[in-house]
């Protein structure tokens, strides 16, 4: 009886902890998604597929954030650097500007986590 009750309490506690973590992750993604919709959609698209309204006339096409393979090949530190310092900082296109003066480091970290969520991929490096 006591053992059953203890197990139940532990299950409930871990369930609440997991739910809490999920809610926190959702909240984190919600803020990043809002920033994405404000700053990134113009080039990377409302479907996060690199087909933003500005992409039509761009000489270098924006990254497709829904591409699990392409995104999975990019190391975590490169994603953070390219958002904060722009494409030139990682030997990529000048068309990706530096957002470090607009988003805080915390928001950029959230954005990197959100991008992993969008591509359904982790970093392979």
Partner 1 sequence: MKLHILAALGIGLITAPVHAADNAGTALLKSQCMSCHAISKPVASLDRLWERKGPDLHYAGNKFNQPWLEKWLQNPVRIRPAGELYTRHLKGSDKEDVVDESTLTPHVKLSKSEAEAVAGALMALTAPDLVEKGVFKGAKVSMTMGGMFFGKLRGCGACHMAKPGSGGSSGPELYTASERLQPDYIYSYIKDPQKIDPGIWMPALGLSEPDLQRLTGYILQLDAREGK
Binding site for partner 1 (CB under 8 A): 34-35, 37-39, 41-43, 45-47, 51-59, 93-95, 97-102
Question: Residue 8 or residue 47: which is nearer to partner 1 going by CB?
Answer: 47
Residue 100 near residue 108 (C-beta atoms within 8 A)? yes
Q: Could you tell me the smallest distance in angstroms from the CB atom of residue 27 to partner 1?
A: 15
Q: Could you tell me the smallest distance in angstroms from the CB atom of residue 72 to partner 1?
A: 24
Q: Could you tell me the smallest distance in angstroms from the CB atom of residue 80 to partner 1?
A: 16
Question: Residue 24 or residue 58: which is nearer to partner 1 going by CB?
Answer: 58
Q: Which residue has the tokens 């470090």?
A: 100
Question: Residue 55 or residue 123: which is nearer to partner 1 going by CB?
Answer: 55
Give Cα separations from 61 to 26, 53, 55, 96, 103 (angstroms).
29, 11, 6, 10, 23
């Amino acid at each position: 009886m006591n053992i059953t009750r203890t197990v139940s309490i532990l299950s409930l506690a871990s369930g609440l902890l997991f739910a809490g973590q999920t809610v926190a992750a959702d909240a984190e993604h919600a803020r990043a998604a809002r920033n994405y919709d404000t700053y990134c959609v113009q080039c990377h698209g409302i479907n996060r597929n690199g087909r933003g309204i500005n992409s039509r006339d761009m000489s270098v096409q924006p990254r497709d954030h829904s591409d699990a393979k392409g995104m999975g090949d990019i190391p975590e530190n490169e994603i953070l650097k390219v958002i904060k310092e722009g494409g030139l900082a990682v030997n990529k296109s000048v068309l990706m500007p530096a957002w470090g003066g607009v988003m805080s480091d915390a928001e950029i970290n959230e954005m990197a986590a959100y991008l992993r969520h969008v591509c359904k991929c982790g970093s392979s490096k």
